[in-house]
């Protein structure tokens, strides 16, 4: 959990520090976004390869190399003297971090006897769920109080502790045998198609809004390469005897539907985690620390409920718990659509807590459904695919949220401006009363009129932005609600008495 928490945290912790990084390294904010994109691209490429690499190097050895690479590259990120150096070290950090989630998941499965796996996986899952929630807040606090470099330096002690404990406590199971490079017969074509497809997809998702999506030739070319690479790798790998990514696993219905559910979960989790702090800081004037306190009750709910869900899995079918989780989270997101500029701290915290309650019912049960019919020796390949689905879903969720926010804010502003005419009685009355107050404060008639117009425009922009945020919460709520029927298509597998997986 230590290494996975550290890796998931780094997908979001740098977001709030971008202006500081740009200023420190003499780069524009747009250029500094490659600090995020480079990490996501290399992370996505290595995720589905974790099963093949584990077989090649040995799982424990491969895992420790990944932790070591992540830790060293984190140190180098903190010491980077230019934006180019920082991007290079972030690529290496993403390569090291990409395999930590799926390999950790496979290790945890075999480290506990069957009767304790549910609780072990639930405890492991606490770190995975909490990391993207506290990442932006932690990054903001560290940047405000110390330096952006410390968002990377904090990984060093965690990485070293993880290495020491892994070396001491973790052992590969006897059925796992290393294969030589000759035996593995590296599929260079499949690897190349996968790299091009995933790298291009991440660039499209991360850079699309900033480049006006398909109004940009760069995004069009990246999208073409993404489709070509991803369609090509699936077609090619299904015809290989020893594929680098075993897409045949998706022929199993439960695993395929669970992968879709994990994509939706990543989409909504990362999308809402991006929208909520932005809403609080942009519209409500909350500091990064205070917005983090709004999210804290949700984190506490997850901590308390994850072990409970581990117990419930022994009494109820996983698919029922997933349906409950999607439904509760959808209710929490619906509560967010009721936000107003007059809402208080408790209203925001309560909505987030309800959403988090639903999230606690999703991670462990989705993985329990996914792996019920997957052979044990295919675990590493399967974990790579399902983790990739969550990560790509997260990138898509952030891209959707940022695009929807920008486009809908402009749409609502245009609609609201239609009412700002002298013919609208309410607008005329408010404008006149505002001018009167300004004049009583000592402003001339001309200055009072100008200030009144400025205040009305600012209020219009603020309300348009509020409506755009509400649209975003509506989309996420409806997506979770639409995912509930998905659970009815899953094969009945009974309550979980054996291994439970968690992402």
> What number of H helices and E strands is found in the chain?
22, 0
The answer, yes or no, to whether residue 453 has pLDDT greater than 70, is: no
What is the model's pLDDT at position 501?
43
Q: Which range, 176-185, 348-357, 413-422, has the best average confidence (pLDDT)? A: 348-357
Phi, psi of 275 (to 5 degrees): -70, -40
Question: Fold identical between 1-184 and 252-409+475-503?
Answer: yes
What is the model's pLDDT at position 503?
41
Task: Give the pLDDT mean for 440-446.
Answer: 69
| Residues 147-184: tens digit of each pLDDT | 888 888 888 998 999 899 988 888 777 666 555 555 55
What is the model's pLDDT at position 390?
82
Confidence of residue 72 (pLDDT cuts 50, 70, 90): very high
Tokens 């709004």 belong to which residue? 294
- Higher-pLDDT residue of 380 and 21 is 21
Q: Which of 270, 291, 272 is nearest to 282 (CA)?
A: 291
What is the model's pLDDT at position 479?
92
Confidence of residue 416 (pLDDT cuts 50, 70, 90): confident
What is the length of the chain?
A: 503
Q: Which helix (H) or strand (E) holds 207?
A: helix 188-207
Tokens 């439970």 belong to which residue? 500
277 touches 137 (CB < 8 A) = yes
| Residues 243-256: tens digit of each pLDDT | 777 788 888 888 88
What is the chain's Cα-based Rg? Answer: 24
Domain chopping of the chain, boundaries: 1-184, 187-243, 252-409+475-503, 410-464
- Higher-pLDDT residue of 24 and 13 is 24
Confidence of residue 71 (pLDDT cuts 50, 70, 90): very high
13 touches 106 (CB < 8 A) = no
Task: Give the pLDDT mean for 310-333.
Answer: 88
273 touches 266 (CB < 8 A) = no
What is the model's pLDDT at position 500?
41
Confidence of residue 452 (pLDDT cuts 50, 70, 90): low
Q: Give the CATH fold of the 252-409+475-503 domain.
A: Growth Hormone; Chain: A; (1.20.1250)
Per residue, what are the HEC states of 442-480?
CCCHHHHHHHHHHHHHHHHHHHHHHHHHHHHHHHHHHHH
Q: What is the pTM of this model?
A: 0.78
Q: Which of 11, 204, 29 is nearest to 90 (CA)?
A: 11
The answer, yes or no, to whether residue 410 has pLDDT greater than 50, is: yes
Confidence of residue 215 (pLDDT cuts 50, 70, 90): confident
Q: Which of 170-184, 197-211, 432-446, 473-487 has the lowest mean pLDDT?
A: 170-184
The answer, yes or no, to whether residue 377 has pLDDT greater than 90, is: no
- Higher-pLDDT residue of 325 and 440 is 325
Confidence of residue 370 (pLDDT cuts 50, 70, 90): confident
Q: Which of 184-188, 339-343, 486-490 has the lowest mean pLDDT?
A: 184-188
Phi-psi group of 33: left, alpha or beta (phi > 0 → left; psi -120 to 50 → alpha; rest → beta): alpha
| Residues 283-314: tens digit of each pLDDT | 888 876 677 778 778 878 887 888 888 788 87
Per residue, what are the HEC states of 67-114?
HHHHHHHHHHHHHCCCHHHHHHHHHHHHHHHHCHHHHHHHHHHHHCCH
- Higher-pLDDT residue of 501 and 212 is 212
Per residue, what are the HEC states of 259-297?
HHHHHHHHHHHHHHHHHHHHHHHHCCCCCHHHHHHHHHH
Mean pLDDT (the chain, rounded): 79
Distance CA 357, CA 301 (A): 6
The answer, yes or no, to whether residue 373 has pLDDT greater than 90, is: no
- Higher-pLDDT residue of 240 and 222 is 222
CATH of domain 1-184: 1.20.1250.20
The answer, yes or no, to whether residue 328 has pLDDT greater than 90, is: yes
The answer, yes or no, to whether residue 398 has pLDDT greater than 90, is: no
Answer positive or negative: Cα dihedral of 109, 110, 115, 119: negative
153 touches 307 (CB < 8 A) = no
Q: Which range, 217-226, 375-384, 486-495, has the best average confidence (pLDDT)? A: 217-226
**What one-character DSSP code corresponds to residue 491?**
P
- Higher-pLDDT residue of 461 and 231 is 231
């Amino acid at each position: 959990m230590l290494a996975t928490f550290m890796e998931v945290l780094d997908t979001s912790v740098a977001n709030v520090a971008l202006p500081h990084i740009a200023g420190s390294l003499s780069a524009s904010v747009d250029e500094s976004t490659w600090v995020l994109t480079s990490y996501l691209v290399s992370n996505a490429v290595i995720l589905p390869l974790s099963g093949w690499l584990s077989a090649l190097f040995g799982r424990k050895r491969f895992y420790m190399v990944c932790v070591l690479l992540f830790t060293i590259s984190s140190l180098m990120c903190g010491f980077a003297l230019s934006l180019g150096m920082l991007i290079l070290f972030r690529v290496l950090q993403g390569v090291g971090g990409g395999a930590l989630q799926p390999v950790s998941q496979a290790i945890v499965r075999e480290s506990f006897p069957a009767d304790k796996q549910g609780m072990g996986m639930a405890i492991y899952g606490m770190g995975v769920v909490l990391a993207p929630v506290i990442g932006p807040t932690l990054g903001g606090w560290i940047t405000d109080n110390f330096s952006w470099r410390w968002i990377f330096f904090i990984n060093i002690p965690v990485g070293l502790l993880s290495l020491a404990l892994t070396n001491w406590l973790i052992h590969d199971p006897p059925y796992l045998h290393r294969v030589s490079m000759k035996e593995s017969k590296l599929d260079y074509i499949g690897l190349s198609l996968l790299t091009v497809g995933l790298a291009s997809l991440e660039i499209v998702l991360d850079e699309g809004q900033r480049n006006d999506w398909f109004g940009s030739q760069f995004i069009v070319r990246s999208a073409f390469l993404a489709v070509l690479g991803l369609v090509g790798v699936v077609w090619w790998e299904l015809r290989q005897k020893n594929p680098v990514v075993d897409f045949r696993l998706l022929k199993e219905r439960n695993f395929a539907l669970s992968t879709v559910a994990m994509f939706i979960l990543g989409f909504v989790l990362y999308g809402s985690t991006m929208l909520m702090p932005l809403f609080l800081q942009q519209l409500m004037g909350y500091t990064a620390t205070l917005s983090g306190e709004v999210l804290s009750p949700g984190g506490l709910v997850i901590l308390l409920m994850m072990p409970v869900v581990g117990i419930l899995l022994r009494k109820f079918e996983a698919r029922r718990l997933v349906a409950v989780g999607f439904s509760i989270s959808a209710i929490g997101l619906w509560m967010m659509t009721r936000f107003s500029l007059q809402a208080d701290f408790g209203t925001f915290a309560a909505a987030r807590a309800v959403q988090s309650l639903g999230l606690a019912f999703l991670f462990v049960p989705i993985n329990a459904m996914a792996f019920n019919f997957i052979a044990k020796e295919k675990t590493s390949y399967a974990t790579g695919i399902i983790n990739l689905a969550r990560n790509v879903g997260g990138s898509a969720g952030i891209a959707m949220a940022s695009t929807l926010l920008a486009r809908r804010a402009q749409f609502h502003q245009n609609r609201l401006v239609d009412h700002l005419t002298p013919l609208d009685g309410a607008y005329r009355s408010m404008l006149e009363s505002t001018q009167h107050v300004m004049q009583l404060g000592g402003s001339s008639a001309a200055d009072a009129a100008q200030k009144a117009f400025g205040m009305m425009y600012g209020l219009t922009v603020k309300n348009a932005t509020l409506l755009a945020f509400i649209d975003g919460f509506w989309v996420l709520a409806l997506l979770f609600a639409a995912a509930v029927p998905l659970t009815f298509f899953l094969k009945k597998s009974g309550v979980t008495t054996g291994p439970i997986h968690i992402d």
